[in-house]
Copies of this chain bind each other. A is one copy, B any other.
Amino acid sequence: MAIPDPLEDDLAKIGGIEGLRSLFPDDEALETLSGRFKALADPMRLRILILLAPGPLCVCVIRETLGIADSRLSYHLNVLKKAGLIAGEPQGTWIIYSLTPVGGRALSFLEGE
């Protein structure tokens, strides 16, 4: 038996299984959202967001502050960029990264906890 009898009534009141399923956003929206959370789910990436909160910084300063290898930083910057949390603006020889509006909001959620 899938659903025990005593629960069937409660379930019916809220529209049954189909009623519950209607709560879900479509798969694409869920992927986007969970992808954003995935980007936030790493201490090194949270450090990068925290660094960018006061204002934009170039890659070299971020690298020096975090004390990690170039390629490793580049990987994490790319994850954040793909998730729409930061944006990079080439400026002469170097690239300046800053928080996007979404990135800023994610960070304030972070600080609200």
**Contact of B93 with A4 in the complex, beta carbons under 8 Å:** yes
Contact with B along A27-52 (1 / 0, CB 8 A): 10011011111101111011100110
* CB of A3 closer than 8 Å to a CB of B: yes
* Band of interface residues on A: 35 or more
Q: Which residue of B lies closest to A93 (CB)?
A: B4
Query: Across the interface, do B34 and A37 meet the contact criterion of CB distance under 8 Å?
Result: no
**Is A9 at the interface (CB under 8 A from chain B)?**
no
A41 close to B38 (CB less than 8 A): yes
| Interface presence of A95 (CB below 8 A) | no
Can you list, as one digit per residue, whether each of A15-33 has a CB less than 8 Å from chain B (1) or not (0)? 0010011011101001101
